[in-house]
Structure 1
């Protein structure tokens, strides 16, 4: 059985972590898998429940930190030399650089990297953008395969010369669509619930959503906004809400995907994404969607056919879309049903696993 290592910067749950967990579940019978990440997140406990080996990377931090980054690289290189992995598959930008550099030095046969939306597209200084672009271009030369979850990232990679040795592949995220689906109907007396499941980082755009919802409340006071997640900007966002009791901060929930079925409308406010798993989880529950135009959203929602797509970082656009859904809820529900029927065929878990396995066996 071939030995496979997954490497990711953080173990706090997010889309990239979800991708790894689903791959582990689908491939554990075919590969001897070990997952490497920073410590302290919920992904670690989930891996233990799946009987997948996990090792915490000392000194692994999210931001650029030369001393910590070098120590994390040295640890990974030592591990790869000792364990003699056949495949090292890294996710997220920091782990993508360190793990690929270490795998190259350890002479790993197949070095794979998944770009969950290139980091240099995030809000950051020009200097940081330049550093990340140079790093991505350099590490691509040592990568056998690069996977993009957003087809636009294929074009970006080619334009910037981020080309691996073998294949630059588009593999969309996928989930199992087998579960009870939400058939909730809105009663006139009910509170209209908007919601978002996302950790509080600048890229998730919570500030625009909160400001837009506060405007919605002026006309539609029987509304509420549910925010599920943790993160470094949570306190700032609570302050931004002005203690409005119709904006509820629920913290991290292990069953966040299931709680989506209690929303009347899911509101993705991100300013940067690759392919957000949470959109598929929302579609699985047949919940109407408002989303900013980021990452693969236009492909998933077919340019607004299956949900409302708005300009990112626009308070006014989000407000208008939220008010439109309140006033046209049956239309929004019909779109969500069409989205479900389309996505369960195109974005299946089986497709994601099969395409990834082909990359490993190339």
Structure 2
């Protein structure tokens, strides 16, 4: 049986975003293996979602930081051993350090072809100079060891197509959202609010994302304090290292009774249905999955003016240019002050999301895998 190896830094990535690709590979006759750090699961607290998938797991002690040289060297040697022993017919890597070490190990072990999906390069318009100095040369060099480069937003695709050396460069519209599943959600809104402990008579502003600096929940909390409107509550779904800090910030700003931390949720599609608006203030994204799901759920959205978001949101009134709390405060006031039911915003978002469904993405990915097989 042919064997394919998927590589990501943290172990939650494949069950969260890549099961469509797993199914394609398995349908094509591949035995699918997965190398990741299973001691640091993400997008949930465990690895149980991999049970009964047929995926063979390999522990590699990946770390996210490129500056931890000793740890990265150990992970590289572990991954090189996995590839040497596994003799894989195909490698598909994701995440920055997973992509770096996988391509180096594949080159060293003569494993090919290698596919690399960039879910958002760390160098981008407006990125810190140090990102361009470190990550751009690294990606450009490693592109010579890349058979197939995949990008999920137009800015990354333009750079990879014109500056890098991969044999093939393709743009695909994200990892694919399940439009049928989203459209079929049918719940009693008041009952769902009660189950979650949310007030029934308040307007709900929703964010979905890890509680980390990059997701920038702090700015929305500050905006909520400036807004001074007790009829609005802010619901955050996600977990992460900044949870304690953000909760303390809510207390300091006296909005702790308006902000609800729901943690990582497996019922997120139902939670979109009880929200009145979605806010996505990230500093950096590739093509945001949560924002796409919110748009597919017919939610009006407020978002930062960054790569990825620009590919999706066309209503410039709610695209925040400066990322300041004052500007988010004004946008929140305006979005709840308008009769969005008849404005066309919800319908426009729903229609845009149609272009990013998993059926479309999987059709493209199947062709990419077929080309790699013939290489």
TM-score relative to the length of structure 1: 0.88
Find the aligned partners of 1:357 and 1:228 in 2 and give their Cα distance: 32
1:177 is matched with: 179
1:28 is matched with: 26
Instruction: State yes or no: 1:236 paired with 2:236.
Output: no
1:153-173 CA-partner distances (Å, limit 9, x unpaired) = 1123356x3331x11110112
The 1:203–1:122 alpha-carbon spacing in structure 2 relative to 1, beyond 3 Å, is farther
Larger displacement relative to structure 2 (88-97 or 228-237): 228-237
1:218-297 aligned within 5 A = 218=228, 220-242=229-251, 244-297=256-309
Name the SS for the 1:294 alignment partner: coil
Contact conserved, 2:298 with 2:346, CA < 8 A, in 1? yes
The 1:335–1:2 alpha-carbon spacing in structure 2 relative to 1, beyond 3 Å, is farther
1:32-51 aligned within 5 A = 32-39=31-38, 40-41=40-41, 42=44, 44-51=47-54
Cα shift at 1:193: 0.4
Find the aligned partners of 2:206 and 2:16 in 1 and give their Cα distance: 20
Contact conserved, 1:270 with 1:312, CA < 8 A, in 2? no
The 1:234–1:185 alpha-carbon spacing in structure 2 relative to 1, beyond 3 Å, is closer
Cα shift at 1:51: 3.0
Name the SS for the 2:311 alignment partner: helix
1:215 is matched with: 226
Alignment partner for residue 343 of structure 1, among 342, 353, 361?
A: 353
1:64-213 aligned within 5 A = 64=66, 65-121=68-124, 126-127=129-130, 129-158=132-161, 161-164=163-166, 166-173=167-174, 174-179=176-181, 180-181=184-185, 190-213=201-224
Find the aligned partners of 1:252 and 1:169 in 2 and give their Cα distance: 32
The 1:152–1:236 alpha-carbon spacing in structure 2 relative to 1, beyond 3 Å, is same
Cα shift at 1:276: 0.9
Find the aligned partners of 2:146 and 2:234 in 1 and give their Cα distance: 43
Contact conserved, 1:21 with 1:47, CA < 8 A, in 2? no
1:326 is matched with: 336
1:358 is matched with: 367
Cα shift at 1:121: 4.0
Unpaired segments of 5 or more residues in structure 2?
191-199
The 1:18–1:162 alpha-carbon spacing in structure 2 relative to 1, beyond 3 Å, is farther
Q: How many residues are treated as equivalent by the alignment? A: 350
1:219-252 CA-partner distances (Å, limit 9, x unpaired) = x211100111111222221122126211111222
Contact conserved, 1:265 with 1:289, CA < 8 A, in 2? yes
1:309 is matched with: 319
Cα shift at 1:295: 2.3
The 1:146–1:69 alpha-carbon spacing in structure 2 relative to 1, beyond 3 Å, is same
1:157-214 CA-partner distances (Å, limit 9, x unpaired) = 356x3331x111101121221132569999xx83010011100122111111111121
Cα shift at 1:120: 3.2
Find the aligned partners of 1:26 and 1:288 in 2 and give their Cα distance: 33
Find the aligned partners of 2:130 and 2:320 in 1 and give their Cα distance: 29
Find the aligned partners of 2:333 and 2:361 in 1 and give their Cα distance: 36
2:11 is matched with: 11
Cα shift at 1:347: 1.2
Name the SS for the 2:283 alignment partner: coil
Name the SS for the 1:54 alignment partner: strand
Unpaired segments of 5 or more residues in structure 1?
none
Find the aligned partners of 2:24 and 2:242 in 1 and give their Cα distance: 34
Find the aligned partners of 2:103 and 2:205 in 1 and give their Cα distance: 41
Contact conserved, 2:205 with 2:234, CA < 8 A, in 1? yes
TM-score relative to the length of structure 2: 0.85
Contact conserved, 1:48 with 1:54, CA < 8 A, in 2? no
Name the SS for the 1:169 alignment partner: strand
